[in-house]
Amino acid sequence: MTEIATASAAELAGLERLAPALVEETGKTGWSEVGAELISGGKSNLTFLLSSPAGELVLRRPPTGELLPSAHDMLREARVQSALAASPVPVPRIVKADAGELIGIRCYVMERIPGHIIREALPAGYAGTADERQRLGFAFIDTLAALHSVDPDQVGLAGYGRPVGYAERQVRRWTRQWESSRTHDVPEVDELADRLSGHVPAQQATSIVHGDYRIDNCVFDLDDPGKVNAVLDWELSTLGDPLTDLGYALMFWRHPGEPPISSLTPTVTDQPGFPTRSQLLERYAHATGLTLDDLDFHIALAHFKFAVIAQGVANRSREGAMGGQDFGNLDHEILALARAGLDLI
């Protein structure tokens, strides 16, 4: 195991320098006694629960080790969350964002939002009825529709991205990321990139795009499964084609009998009672007014994108850059993702 992998949570969170900064920022001396605990589940960046006599906050920072170009930009996350604070999209309040002077790398601290983050299993006694599961699914898709209905100019995000030609640039970007991170040839991934490049549909709308919208990036209310308290993990957010978000979200939404798309993203929606993908699409289209004729392209793009993400996760895990988390060999999953994408385009 590498020295990086054995670094303590306190070291990775930079508590020696972070603690006095939090005291100054909040005016609460209790933050001088802060402790840090790595929150498992993060596959890209590192997330820490900060606990002190003054309360709890959350720290987000990139993984250790060498980073791919344009990846893990914590200040983008902080910017978009700050911009959306007054919008219908629920986000945690940013307490402090730092460009690297504080703990030696870009990071931010945000409030901790109470609620359930749902990964491989529903919490005991939560969303146990078909009605509650349907409301959970509808809250999930309604929150995405709400995000895509926000005017970027009205919330101060004009210039946050280059929306024209977004999907085409996404194909190029993730192709470059694949070339930077792959450890061996996977012809199916290369073929999927080629097909996507040759079949980019016209963009019918521009919106704020989350970039990684999944059920486990939402915080659901402790008492009401039909309410999303916060949307997390805005690292890949920008301005672009909203259907890329929709295609990505639908890729992870599994029906009963369907396996998870990846071991990195366990599912609960394969249990009875959750809305079907068709129901989610109907609700989204009604809320946004968008037509979904080209959605297969965007779902195929999602498969390509997540195959590349999985390769990056595997690399960082192997190099000990994920705070000791080990995600194993993902080669077979990357191949399966590429093949599933090829079936769509």
Q: What is the CATH number of the domain that holds 167?
A: 3.90.1200.10
* 54 within some domain: yes
* 122 within some domain: no
User: Could you tell me the CA-to-CA distances from 331 to 75, 140, 309 in Å, in that order?
Assistant: 31, 30, 12
Same domain (yes/no): 89, 135: no
The CA-CA-CA angle for residues 79, 84, 85, to 5°, reads: 100
Amino acid in position 142: D
Residue 143: which of 64, 245, 8 has the closest Cα? 245
Same domain (yes/no): 143, 184: yes
Same domain (yes/no): 176, 142: yes
For the record, the structure tokens of 41 come out as 């589940």
Report d(CA 245, CA 230) in Å as an integer: 17
Same domain (yes/no): 193, 313: yes
pLDDT at 314: 77
* 326 within some domain: yes
Q: What are phi and psi of 271, to 5 degrees?
A: -85, 155
* 293 within some domain: yes
pLDDT at 341: 96
Same domain (yes/no): 162, 86: no
Q: Please check whether residue 140 is in contact with residue 82, taking contact to mean a CB–CB distance below 8 angstroms.
A: no
Give, as one character, the DSSP assignment of residue 105.
Answer: S
Same domain (yes/no): 287, 209: yes
Amino acid in position 172: R
* 179 within some domain: yes
Report d(CA 59, CA 38) in Å as an integer: 9
* 296 within some domain: yes
Domain count, the chain: 2
* Residue at which a domain ends, from 111, 145, 178: 111
pLDDT at 65: 59
The 55-61 sheet, strands edge to edge: 35-38, 46-52, 55-61, 107-111, 94-98
* 123 within some domain: no
Cα–chain-centroid distance for residue 52? 27
Give, as one character, the DSSP assignment of residue 278.
Answer: H
Domain of residue 88, residue span: 9-111
pLDDT at 264: 82
Query: pTM here?
Result: 0.89
pLDDT at 69: 46
SS3 58: strand
Q: Maximum Cα–Cα distance for the chain, whole Å?
A: 58
Same domain (yes/no): 149, 21: no
Amino acid in position 148: H
Same domain (yes/no): 96, 157: no
* 156 within some domain: yes
Give, as one character, the DSSP assignment of residue 27.
Answer: -
Q: From first to last of the 345 residues of the chain, give the pLDDT tens digit.
A: 233 344 688 998 999 999 999 999 999 999 999 999 998 644 568 899 999 999 999 999 988 755 544 555 899 999 999 999 999 999 999 999 999 988 889 999 999 999 999 988 999 999 999 999 999 999 999 999 999 999 999 999 999 999 999 999 999 999 999 998 888 889 999 999 999 999 999 999 999 999 999 999 999 999 999 999 999 999 989 999 999 999 999 999 999 999 888 888 889 999 999 999 999 999 999 999 999 999 999 999 999 999 998 888 877 666 664 455 555 668 889 999 999 999 999
Q: How many helices (H) and strands (E) does the chain have?
A: 10, 9
